[in-house]
């Protein structure tokens, strides 16, 4: 499965392993022609990525993946096409970074209570950027032999409901959606089937998201079964939302989520890029 449009990926600026320029290079080599770099809660990689994209002739829109809370559950919201120098957005992201730092400290403390050594410094080193998240803690656990794999780290310590799953402090869904909207962008719910929600609850999330000013749903997600994509297409149409496509690329090591390795958007769904000038002439 290949798509020439990939609107969800990560660089070193957050928890990806490639520099922003290298993400764009790889996307280009893999046939992606419209890209958004969506690092977690930071715009740190945008400029470098966009400069490289311009050299290669890859079209790009600004992107970000924001963490927030909805009914005490952590949700990821993607933002596209916003003004990257909007002062209110930059200020909001500063707060988000502070929360991520506090969260990293709390993850380390909670893991210590589980009998692990303090992993904060190692996780900070691991993160390259300055704010480690759960994947960095997982890597440190693997490297120091505390667990045998990422999967085990999440299953035992970091996954949903485990000690290292710290979700306090994120802003509310409507808050982050408004950050994007007020900066002139469009908000999309990331990987809607990864929250382990019932369909009823997912519909309620979508209703609240729309009421907050959200416009889209990530319909085609890497590694997702066809039936799931179909279900999301239905939800998208029924709620009059626009559809998006994203691999959620983090590392070439994770081959099932490589750049452009994602199904195209089903024809029945109106694409989030339908009125983007950069998307002219591209069939997603
Ligand atoms: Mn990530
Ligand atoms: Mn996510
Ligand atoms: Mn992501």
Residues 248 and 203 grouped into a single domain: yes
Is 198 among the domain residues? yes
Q: How far is the CA of 189 from the centre of ligand 3 (A)?
A: 11
Residues 122 and 86 grouped into a single domain: no
d(CA 45, CA 53): 12
- Measuring CA to CA, which residue among 38, 18, 15 is closest to residue 26? 18
Residues 13 and 54 grouped into a single domain: yes
- The domain of 58 spans 5-92+172-279
Q: How far is the CA of 246 from the centre of ligand 3 (A)?
A: 9
Q: How far is the CA of 250 from the centre of ligand 3 (A)?
A: 8
Total domains present in the chain: 2
Is 30 among the domain residues? yes
Which residue stretches of the chain have pLDDT < 50?
none
Q: What is the structure's pLDDT at 130?
A: 65
Is 167 among the domain residues? no
Please give the structure tokens belonging to residue 63.
């992107």
The 10s digit of each residue's pLDDT in 30-67 is 999 999 999 999 999 999 999 999 999 999 999 999 99
Q: What is the structure's pLDDT at 191?
A: 97
Residues 203 and 84 grouped into a single domain: yes
Residues 62 and 196 grouped into a single domain: yes
Nearest listed ligand to the Cα of residue 14 = 1
Is 284 among the domain residues? no
Q: What is the structure's pLDDT at 283?
A: 65
Q: What is the structure's pLDDT at 166?
A: 87
Residues 68 and 120 grouped into a single domain: no
Tokens 């950050």 sit at which residue? 179
> pTM of this prediction?
0.88
**Any idea what the CATH number is for the domain that residue 249 is in?**
3.20.20.140
**Any idea what the CATH number is for the domain that residue 141 is in?**
1.10.150.650
Residues 204 and 264 grouped into a single domain: yes
Is 165 among the domain residues? no
Is 273 among the domain residues? yes
Helix (H) or strand (E) holding 68: strand 63-70
């Amino acid at each position: 499965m290949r798509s020439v449009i990939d609107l969800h990926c990560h660089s070193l600026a957050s928890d990806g392993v490639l520099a922003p320029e290298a993400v764009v290079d790889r996307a280009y080599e893999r046939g992606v022609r419209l890209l958004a770099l969506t690092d977690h809660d930071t715009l740190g990689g945008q400029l470098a990525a966009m400069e490289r994209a311009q050299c290669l002739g890859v079209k790009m829109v600004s992107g970000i993946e924001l963490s927030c809370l909805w009914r005490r559950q952590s949700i990821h919201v993607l933002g596209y096409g916003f003004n990257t120098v909007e002062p209110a957005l930059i200020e909001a992201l500063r707060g988000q970074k502070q929360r991520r730092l506090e969260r990293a400290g709390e993850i380390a403390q909670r893991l210590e209570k589980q009998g692990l050594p303090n992993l904060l410094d190692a996780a900070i080193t691991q993160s390259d950027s300055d704010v480690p998240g759960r994947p960095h803690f997982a890597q440190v656990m693997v490297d120091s032999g505390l667990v045998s794999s990422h999967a085990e780290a999440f299953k035992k310590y970091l996954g949903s409901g485990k000690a290292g799953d710290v979700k306090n402090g994120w802003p509310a869904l409507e808050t982050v959606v408004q950050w994007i909207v007020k900066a002139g962008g469009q908000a999309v719910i990331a990987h809607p089937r990864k929250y382990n929600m019932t369909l009823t609850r997912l519909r309620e999330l979508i209703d609240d998201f729309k009421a907050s000013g959200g416009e889209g749903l990530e319909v085609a997600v890497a590694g997702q079964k066809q039936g799931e994509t179909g279900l999301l297409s239905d939800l998208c149409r029924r709620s009059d939302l626009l559809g998006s496509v994203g691999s959620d690329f983090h590392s070439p090591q994770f081959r099932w989520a490589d750049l452009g390795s994602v199904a195209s958007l089903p024809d029945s769904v109106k694409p989030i890029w339908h009125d983007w000038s950069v998307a002219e002439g591209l069939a997603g």
